[in-house]
Amino acid sequence: MGECKIEDMPLPALFDQARKIHLTATESGADQDLVKKGCELLGKCEDMISKLGLFSSNETKEDISTTNLKYLLVPFYLAELTEKLAQDDRIQVLKTSLAKLKEFISFCEAMELVPQEELEASSQGAANSFADRRALKIARFKRQRAAEAKLTEIKERKERRGRSTKAAALSTPIEAGEEDVLDDDGEEEREAWLTTISLAICKAFDLLEMLKKEEEMLSAIKEKQLKEGDKEFSQSILDERTKKAEAWHRDYAARSRYTKPAPPITCATFAQDVLEGRAKVSEQHDHKHQPMIFGPQSLIGGSLTSERQRMAAQVFQPHHRMPTMSIEEAGLKEMEIMNKWQERNVKMFEEANSAWYKDPPKMGPSEEDEEDDAAQEKARAFDDWKDDNPRGAGNKKLTPCG
């Protein structure tokens, strides 16, 4: 399948094809071309999952839908296929695979899928004794066997139900009450994916320990070769790494002028279309959704030119009012209102923190003139009263000559 076709594939088809390649590479010998193709498909799955925003850090396993549970396995599948790559620099392959395994385990831990004893053992690190490590391996092996047995049971149960459904459909129609049995597929599918994730967690811890030991061994061998005085060998390795680094920086500097990161998908309707294969990630989206029009196909597709066509189109309209904007447009408008409200609050806080209210109010020239006239009138009235009432005029009995 060409690269252009991979770009056009929806996420479910990409995951199904990558899962088949992972199963083939795990059960039989690893063909390098097949492994590289699987890594490419899983890398594309990771890009689409991050763009669609299927998972959040504040979610648990109960918040994730059944159709999206399987995409939790993408980092684990990518780690297993990366470990099978045959390259000259084996240490770099191990580091990439270890990074994907740690990413898978940490995300499952956030989703509350990792057992408590595994979390306690990983927090203690190398401080565990030999007996504790042995007990942990035994418990992990038992969980792995239980998960494999449960998956086998679910598969056999589904096959039996399929055979019985076919036989019942051929003999008699489904009666009332029997359709509830067919509605258990959703719960059964969710149980199967959760069991698969639990099995992958057990395998991830075992693979993590194995890859760490291999990396330590290869690092020790490489360090020993460098210490033995093989200067020509070490100098050639350093020169080769320097050339690779310089070439990578030159290519990145040349590509950074023209390449831009893909914008995230913020429209729920467009994301659902991408998931179901009706749209491509590379298509432009303007958040414009036309309201749904009810009526005959001739009225929906054509333009209403006459009054008769307009009245006929109104016959099949719903009794409630249709929305005038999409959810995304309403969200953007609320964000705009919130930004204006925040700017107004910031301006009010700045005015409240300033010292304008501490200064005495400044009066205009007309107010000052009015105050001066009032003071003069008051002074004149007091002078007239003092002229009419001299000092001591009402105390004649107290004067000697009174």
Can you tell me which residue has the tokens 């929906």? 300
In a domain, 26, yes or no: yes
Tell me the pLDDT band of 9, cut-offs 50, 70 and 90.
confident
Cα–Cα dist 269/285, whole Å:
10
Q: Structural domain tally of the chain?
A: 1
In a domain, 206, yes or no: yes
Helices (H) and strands (E) in the chain, counts: 16, 0
In a domain, 243, yes or no: no
- Number of C-beta neighbours around residue 295 at 10 A: 13
Give me the chain's average pLDDT, please.
77
* Whole-Å CA distances, 333 to 264, 340, 393: 19, 11, 83
In a domain, 316, yes or no: no
With both helix axes pointing from N to C terminus, report the angle between 74-83 and 90-110 in degrees, rounded to the nearest 10: 160
**What pLDDT shows up at residue 181?**
46
Across the range 178-195, mean pLDDT stands at 71
pLDDT per position as a tens digit, 111-137 = 888 888 887 777 776 556 778 888 888
In a domain, 87, yes or no: yes
pLDDT per position as a tens digit, 364-401 = 566 677 888 888 999 999 988 888 888 777 666 655 55
Cα–Cα dist 50/40, whole Å:
16
Closest CA relative to residue 286, chosen from 260, 265, 301? 265
Would you say residue 182 has pLDDT above 70? no
Would you say residue 83 has pLDDT above 80? yes
Closest CA relative to residue 267, chosen from 224, 203, 327? 327
Cα–Cα dist 284/121, whole Å:
48
Judged on CB neighbours under 10 Å (0-12, 13-18, 19+), 201 is buried
Please name the residues in contact with 76: beta carbons below 8 A apart, sequence gap of 6 or more.
100, 101, 104, 200, 203, 204
pLDDT per position as a tens digit, 301-311 = 555 567 777 77
Cα–Cα dist 346/335, whole Å:
16
In a domain, 385, yes or no: no
For residue 133, the domain's CATH number is: 1.25.40.540
Tell me the pLDDT band of 337, cut-offs 50, 70 and 90.
very high
Of 15-19, 147-151, 258-262, 352-356, minimum mean pLDDT range: 258-262
**What pLDDT shows up at residue 398?**
59
Would you say residue 245 has pLDDT above 60? yes
Q: Are 41 and 5 a contacting pair, CB within 8 Å?
A: no
- Give the largest Cα separation in the chain, rounded: 145
In a domain, 294, yes or no: no
In a domain, 137, yes or no: yes
**What pLDDT shows up at residue 180?**
47
Domain region containing 116: 11-165+187-229
- Number of C-beta neighbours around residue 256 at 10 A: 9
Specify the higher pLDDT residue, 89 or 286. Answer: 89
Instruction: Give CA torsion, residues 348, 354, 357, 363, to 10 deg.
Output: -100
